[in-house]
Structure 1
């Protein structure tokens, strides 16, 4: 437990997290701050879309969900994801349903399209099996829009423009693409700088497509310190560093361009309100103690996923990673809370989700 002394302020953070956890059901009273919440992303926020797909990238078995009120649902963590936290802070009294099972009027409060293994690039994650890439998620959103129009008629466009949209993509384009040279050619075709440019160019077109579908309030999550994931450390080694520096260096190139993209989208698109959430910065500045405890909470398979039914660690509050890639609910609480209401000015750019919702 020597690492616990690394940051004397960590006791305060844990106390705050404990209070947030106890009161998560009553953070916001009354009506939600936005009429609906649509979620695009990968396994960090997938809540069941992969459950019936032919893929290795699924978490619909114990010990996933051991701390989640509804048990094992397909979330790649022990409890809530960051978007579950954000939904609660926005005032939603139910979890946003996955596209795979959302039905009827449920879609009027939002839909979660996220898929484990998915990327900006369509081929990303293909070695895992089926997954719903961002392009496919956007097509699924069109299906939702048509259903909303059937229910709301001419009011649908105005309704959708008031909703919140969060997008978090790109991790798999590195983990399950660029840094897997035995399967993908991208690292042979592009330098890290060129690959970041290629990803951002495609991402820009996808975000413009989302805008063309009526989205106006969009929070884009930057990539985290994926070079610190236990599975990546085990695979590549760290050469004396705490994390895999070449991976985190590539991620920083992508994040820098993503922040600039937010400026461009806000400048070029009428009424657009895009904002950037600096998950990398929150990770490095806000969770230094947990980064040193980078062992997994559950026993993992060779691919970094939890071994089914094995008992996970008892004190999950003190672990950063639940499996080889995915954070525990503790970390998701920090990410969600600071995305919603920035603790430091550097957490977001140009504003946090709380202010975005109010615009």
Structure 2
């Protein structure tokens, strides 16, 4: 394993002391200039194991989850292998970040960042009540604040502020607010309280509050993903589809939510005077896979790789589930979550795309230096 940035600094300084160069030395690198942290917030699409440490049914810690992960063992990721945060982390060249609830997240590992995401959560606090003990968004943000106190004890307040300002942040939520709240049961409380357009407006307003809180906590490079094609995932097909057609009500929800999310983020950036937030229209990316899977190297966009029942879409993936032999041929790993290969294509678009990533892609964003005055 290569030396960490901190170790490299000590080696450099020791070398200079031994040889005592007479000319003015080049200023030694500082940890905040050589280290990029990464933080993740959201739901099961980006959870990398926090729920393993909680008494909840929203867990992915049993085989065959993780079958294509390097260890070939379940990790808490709702994937056959890597999820989107893993692949983004690989692109920006950092060690895999740990779940915030992992007891081994201490010392130097804290400087890589942390994943605060928890499967089952939504924008709203009442989303995912059926999963009981999950880390809802206000608690994820509180944990982020606690994290900063812990890092301040390690490297001081000024360096911690720089670490946070320069870090990359990913946030993914919203889908559960429809699937596991508004449409969870007929005549749900939220569906009685709001017509769909008004509910979407309410969600966008609450999401804006979350993003502004991230900004107040120092985040300056934030990737915000929209929902996927909610009506086209295998679980919804299994429950509502006769011939593989997407459920129109959930598709309408996604089609209302995602453009308003982009508009809200654009307004925030204008208000802040900088491109702090970048949206990724994952709904349209997924719809490309669904409408023409073979063009992207998939064999099916309707059947999950792992599951049971119609379209392999019922229930979570378990050791007793039907498991496909070729995970790369499937857009969906289980009833809700993309396969690792689909995640790779999404991350490729996040980094280099121009159509579904606004106002700039991640490669461009990472080249910019956002420093508060």
TM-score (norm 1): 0.85
Distance 1:236 1:34, change over 3 A: farther
- Residue 183 of structure 1 deviates from its aligned partner by 8.0
Matches within 5 A, 1:1-359: 35-70=36-71, 71-92=73-94, 94-101=95-102, 102-153=105-156, 154-182=158-186, 184-237=188-241, 242-269=245-272, 271=274, 273-286=276-289, 288-289=292-293, 290=298, 292-300=300-308, 304-308=315-319, 310=321, 312-342=323-353, 345-359=354-368
* Counterpart Cα distance in 2 of 1:276 and 1:303: 31
CA root-mean-square deviation: 2.1
- Residue 304 of structure 1 deviates from its aligned partner by 2.2
Distance 1:270 1:34, change over 3 A: farther
* Counterpart Cα distance in 1 of 2:186 and 2:107: 44
Summarize deviations over 1:11-54 as a string: whole Å, max 9, x none.
Answer: xxxxxxxxxxxxxxxxxxxx999610100111011110001222
- Residue 286 of structure 1 deviates from its aligned partner by 4.8
Contact preservation (8 Å) 1:33, 1:357: no
TM-score (norm 2): 0.82
Aligned to 1:219, the other structure's residue is in SS state strand
- Residue 241 of structure 1 deviates from its aligned partner by 6.3
* Counterpart Cα distance in 2 of 1:299 and 1:267: 44
* Counterpart Cα distance in 2 of 1:235 and 1:49: 29
Contact preservation (8 Å) 1:230, 1:296: yes
Aligned to 1:40, the other structure's residue is in SS state strand
Aligned to 2:53, the other structure's residue is in SS state coil
Distance 1:78 1:129, change over 3 A: same
* Counterpart Cα distance in 2 of 1:241 and 1:260: 32
Summarize deviations over 1:185-244 as a string: whole Å, max 9, x none.
Answer: 111111111111100111101110110000011110011112111111122236x66211
Contact preservation (8 Å) 2:300, 2:329: no
- Residue 152 of structure 1 deviates from its aligned partner by 1.9
Aligned to 2:159, the other structure's residue is in SS state helix
Q: How many residues align?
A: 325
- Residue 98 of structure 1 deviates from its aligned partner by 0.7
Aligned to 2:65, the other structure's residue is in SS state coil
Contact preservation (8 Å) 2:37, 2:167: yes
Unaligned runs of 5+ in 1: 1-30
- Residue 271 of structure 1 deviates from its aligned partner by 4.6
Unaligned runs of 5+ in 2: 1-30, 369-373
Distance 1:143 1:184, change over 3 A: farther
Summarize deviations over 1:89-147 as a string: whole Å, max 9, x none.
Answer: 1112x211111112222121110111110111011011122211111111111111111
Contact preservation (8 Å) 1:228, 1:242: yes
Aligned to 1:167, the other structure's residue is in SS state strand
* Counterpart Cα distance in 2 of 1:321 and 1:286: 10
* Counterpart Cα distance in 2 of 1:53 and 1:303: 24
* Counterpart Cα distance in 2 of 1:326 and 1:168: 13
Contact preservation (8 Å) 2:79, 2:333: yes
Summarize deviations over 1:248-269 as a string: whole Å, max 9, x none.
Answer: 1111111111101111111112
Distance 1:182 1:127, change over 3 A: farther
Q: Which has the higher contact order (CA 8 A, sep 6+)?
A: 1
* Counterpart Cα distance in 1 of 2:187 and 2:66: 31
* Counterpart Cα distance in 2 of 1:300 and 1:183: 27
